[in-house]
Structure 1
């Protein structure tokens, strides 16, 4: 076997195509767009290169055929905030061969060790943890956009190599054809109409206002959490620009108390229902194909990616009131039949409770693993978030980011 660092266009193509080979007979797999994956490894597109570095490889067999891939990265803003300096590995794909898998893990490990790391998390992303984060271990069904899909045998590879579960990630599904539980509905309606509280959805016309409101809420909600770092406004602006043809303005909500922003909620159409037809390509014809399916209302699912509530208002039931408003929106868009609530960590029982209170059913489980290079050091899982510090967030990003 031969490890090859990805440095030229042919190797980039090999890195992308091996995933198509691994999942060619799996009807659940929606191949991410090639430009999206390449953008993660492009310093001009990924702001995490401002405070980090990344490298990726493909693995060839004796005949020169590509049989696997992996990437490794260091986020210097986070790496040294743990008991041991921690990097990350991700974008792992491999044929069903343990020797090949371990060769890939060894490669990422050595690269990280040579840069002073003593542990690696995986599989994770070189970016925010709402995308490409965690290993699917239960719920082998079509995934929401951004949620990774994997082969079942990957779990054995990670655990036999020495990775241990750092935290579990749960995705809940909400059947929008069924009414919310009556008790939840009464509480949500009461909060939604309480004096001093107002709710409004995002508009592109006033996008900069909402970006600033989101940043204010985000920074206030997570400033006391471990590993917190303020959100970069330009990252949010880029997400808004990139999503302009996809975003439903009424799927993004903000709550205010006496005019001050106190909570936000972001839900996106699940474009995986279209991407599954495109095999990761995004050329001229595939763009036309995408727009065709988009106009035909092919998308029947949405995914809640993030919620945030300022600490002072975290026990007011504000998130319930947002669901109350969202339910009215969904009734005007009956082609949406299902909402994925993803993801919530096992370290955040408050959010688990909220998801279950609205009628969500746990459908998928991903694991984020950590591998300590020195097996004699004590392993610690992500701690449960104390009640007074719990942000209401679909994925609790930043709290648990060990490597982005």
Structure 2
């Protein structure tokens, strides 16, 4: 099998285009924005290049057809009990031998750099995009979420990967009735004058970025692996989301003005992006 390091414009384009061909018959597949993926591998856009290194590879068969791709990386901010590297952006035909070859290549790359374990699929960056392997609920993915075919699980597990943690995504219809215990809790807690709730306000993004960071970090303080945010990171994220923030569906809860909870909702952009085939230039924006 031929291994190609993704460094040329041609190989970069193939890295983006291969999944679209692979899932051409899958009605649930939504091509991610090319820009979002390319930004991950751009040292000028991705600050994690300051803390690690990353390479991308394409894999071609004897007929010079692409049969797989992967990104391999080391992120020193991603702390585990043993030196652990990451893999992500994995796509492959339904063939275990091909998948094994790709995983072996990634394993060798990581071992040569002192790594003792391989985690994936994860992202060379924040956890808000391109993280995890889909194993059930094969529906149209939300914006920024990984999507893969059901056979991917077997490719990973047959090679030796095991579930590290489950990441759950739930959905409900807006007008479905709320469970009675929630109504009762709300009635009880709303009588506490120390507890207040208010919607996010775009004009006060800096304040709400501070409050978000405070709640998020306290919730994850007991966990390692670089899960915590800085206020600057949150503010950058909020500014990115600013054009689509709906103030009516994002709420913060306070006790004596101290932030203690939040519920953030944003419209699912993939319901627009699925018509754009990965592009988001001036024409698509219009």
TM-score (norm 1): 0.67
Instruction: After TM superposition, give the deviation of residue 177 of structure 1 in Å.
Output: 2.2
Give the structure 1 partner of residue 60 of structure 2.
60
Aligned-partner SS, 1:262: strand
- Structure 1 unaligned blocks of 5 or more: 289-404
Matched, 1:40 2:40: yes
2:154 and 2:228 map into 1 onto residues whose CA distance is 37
1:158 and 1:166 map into 2 onto residues whose CA distance is 12
CA distance 1:219–1:181, shift in 2 (3 Å): closer
Within 5 A, what are the aligned runs for 1:328-347?
none
Q: Higher relative contact order by CA 8 Å / sep ≥ 6: 1 or 2? A: 1
Aligned-partner SS, 1:251: coil
Q: Please, which moves more after superposition, 122-131 or 226-235?
A: 226-235
Matched, 1:128 2:126: yes
2:169 and 2:3 map into 1 onto residues whose CA distance is 35
Within 5 A, what are the aligned runs for 1:189-228?
189-227=187-225
Within 5 A, what are the aligned runs for 1:80-91?
81-82=80-81, 84-91=82-89
Counterpart pick for 2:174 among 170, 173, 176: 176
2:212 and 2:131 map into 1 onto residues whose CA distance is 23
Instruction: After TM superposition, give the deviation of residue 229 of structure 1 in Å.
Output: 5.9
CA contact (8 A) 2:202 2:245 kept: no
1:320-363: CA deviation from partner (whole Å, max 9, x where unpaired):
xxxxxxxxxxxxxxxxxxxxxxxxxxxxxxxxxxxxxxxxxxxx
Give the structure 2 partner of residue 267 of structure 1.
265
The CA RMSD over aligned residues, in Å, is 1.7
2:108 and 2:187 map into 1 onto residues whose CA distance is 55
Instruction: After TM superposition, give the deviation of residue 231 of structure 1 in Å.
Output: 1.6
Instruction: After TM superposition, give the deviation of residue 230 of structure 1 in Å.
Output: 4.3
Aligned-partner SS, 2:90: strand
Give the structure 1 partner of residue 24 of structure 2.
24
Counterpart pick for 1:167 among 153, 161, 165: 165
1:162-198: CA deviation from partner (whole Å, max 9, x where unpaired):
1111122222221222110122212123223421111
Give the structure 1 partner of residue 231 of structure 2.
233
1:90 and 1:184 map into 2 onto residues whose CA distance is 38
1:229-263: CA deviation from partner (whole Å, max 9, x where unpaired):
64233322222222222221223221111112222
Instruction: After TM superposition, give the deviation of residue 105 of structure 1 in Å.
Output: 0.9
2:241 and 2:102 map into 1 onto residues whose CA distance is 34
Give the structure 2 partner of residue 110 of structure 1.
108
2:190 and 2:86 map into 1 onto residues whose CA distance is 41
Instruction: After TM superposition, give the deviation of residue 44 of structure 1 in Å.
Output: 1.6
CA contact (8 A) 1:5 1:56 kept: yes
| Equivalences, count | 286
Instruction: After TM superposition, give the deviation of residue 216 of structure 1 in Å.
Output: 2.2
- Structure 2 unaligned blocks of 5 or more: none
Counterpart pick for 2:144 among 135, 143, 146: 146
Which has the larger strand fraction? Answer: 1
Instruction: After TM superposition, give the deviation of residue 228 of structure 1 in Å.
Output: 5.0
1:78 and 1:70 map into 2 onto residues whose CA distance is 19
Matched, 1:73 2:73: yes
CA contact (8 A) 2:70 2:90 kept: yes
CA contact (8 A) 1:2 1:60 kept: yes
CA contact (8 A) 1:222 1:228 kept: no
